[in-house]
Amino acid sequence: MSAAHTRKLIIEVRANEFAMRDRNPLVPWSADELAEDAAECREAGAAIYHFHPRGPDGEAAFDFESYRQPVTRIRASCDLLVYPTLGAFDRAQSAPERLAPILALAEAGQVPDIAPIDMGSTNVDRFDAARGWFTTQERIYINTHATLRHFAEQLRGAGVKPQLVCWNLPMLRCACAFIRAGLVDQPAWIYLGMSEASLAHHPGTPRGMMALVDFLPEDLGHEWTVSLNGGNLLPLASLAITLGGHVSIGIGDHPYDELGTVRNADLVRRVAALARDCGRALATPAEARRMLGMD
């Protein structure tokens, strides 16, 4: 355990995802809002900033400028590592179409530092616990091994660090296979994503998280981080900090209205305080870059 305490903590901000403003009016959507939010998060101790391009009414946006402008403005406002999501899977079906926004940014001289790869296929219907049934019944998120390999190879070619997104144990096993196959460089950046509303994810409980942590590959260089969609991550964040993992948190994943009306930077400050209490210092963006083997 002592080794874990000497390692710096990377805080990643999940700024907005697909969150609307009904439960938290402070979700950043526009490029200016994202840039201001990012600068506050940097000040509070974050190292990485992840966002989804959004239109004026919060709708998911897919045009190139909706990707380019936030990246440009965030980089003008602070030195956080920054990355948008890929293209939406249910609009652009092919692997090249989904990766196109990332490669277009790279061609335009704004290479995203990181890009997420969801390491498997699952049902993605949301489960409405109050109603006791799914809100849809036929949504499938397809990521074939050919698609994943295409992403890994193209991202390597573009100089973008892949974040290996794992919602469940089979996705983590797939991530390990990609590392072993040499398609992803070590140290790999492994993301353990819990969710309350998606049954394809592990639940946001210590047991749900530990079922993934127990299968992290001891023989492969990696750093890992934890997130929770649809719930308060802070209890799991303490556990991850204690175990030497990192933390990915934001009002994009959950409004955190149980804490009042909070900004992303407020959450970063809370995680920073947990880290301090556990004896872990925070990684700067430059330190995170080195820890993730991006230099």
Is the CB of residue 114 less than 8 Å from the CB of residue 161? Answer: yes
Contact string 94-123 vs Zn ion (x = CB under 5 A): ------------------------------
Q: How far apart are CA 261 and CA 182, in angstroms?
A: 44
Neighbours of 136 (CB within 10 A): 9
> Which region among 61-69, 83-91, 165-173, 264-272 touches Zn ion (by CB under 5 A)?
83-91
In the complex, least distance from residue 69 CB atom to Zn ion, rounded to whole angstroms = 18
Count of residues for the chain?
Answer: 295
In the complex, least distance from residue 280 CB atom to Zn ion, rounded to whole angstroms = 25
Q: Decide if residue 225 touches Zn ion (CB under 5 A).
A: no
> Which region among 39-47, 78-86, 128-136, 227-235 touches Zn ion (by CB under 5 A)?
78-86
What Å distances lie between residue 57 and 52, 54, 88, 187, 235, CA to CA?
Answer: 13, 8, 18, 39, 33
In the complex, least distance from residue 17 CB atom to Zn ion, rounded to whole angstroms = 5
- Provide the token pair at 178: 């990609």
Q: How far apart are CA 257 and CA 93, in angstroms?
A: 35
Q: Decide if residue 66 touches Zn ion (CB under 5 A).
A: no
Do β-strands 246-249 and 11-14 pair in parallel, antiparallel, or remain unpaired? parallel
Nearer to Zn ion, 165 or 275 (CB): 165
| φ, ψ dihedrals at 140, nearest 5° | -125, 135
In the complex, least distance from residue 116 CB atom to Zn ion, rounded to whole angstroms = 6
Is the CB of residue 59 less than 8 Å from the CB of residue 21? Answer: no
In the complex, least distance from residue 233 CB atom to Zn ion, rounded to whole angstroms = 14
In the complex, least distance from residue 264 CB atom to Zn ion, rounded to whole angstroms = 13
Q: How far apart are CA 181 and CA 50, in angstroms?
A: 27
- Cα 64 to the center of its chain, rounded Å: 21
Q: Decide if residue 85 touches Zn ion (CB under 5 A).
A: yes
Contact string 6-35 vs Zn ion (x = CB under 5 A): ------------------------------
- Provide the token pair at 146: 């050919």
Is the CB of residue 14 less than 8 Å from the CB of residue 239? Answer: no
How many chain residues are in contact with Zn ion, going by CB under 5 A? 1
Nearer to Zn ion, 50 or 280 (CB): 50
- Look up residue 256 and give its amino acid: Y
Q: Decide if residue 264 touches Zn ion (CB under 5 A).
A: no
Nearer to Zn ion, 165 or 283 (CB): 165
Do β-strands 188-195 and 161-166 pair in parallel, antiparallel, or remain unpaired? parallel
In the complex, least distance from residue 176 CB atom to Zn ion, rounded to whole angstroms = 22
> Which region among 37-45, 82-90, 186-194, 228-236 touches Zn ion (by CB under 5 A)?
82-90
In the complex, least distance from residue 181 CB atom to Zn ion, rounded to whole angstroms = 25
Q: Give the DSSP per-residue string, 43-77.
A: HHT--EEEE--B-TTS-B--SHHHHHHHHHHHHHH
Q: Decide if residue 229 touches Zn ion (CB under 5 A).
A: no
Nearer to Zn ion, 85 or 147 (CB): 85
Q: Which residue is nearest to Zn ion (CB)?
A: 85
Q: Decide if residue 72 touches Zn ion (CB under 5 A).
A: no
Residues that bind Zn ion (CB under 5 A): 85
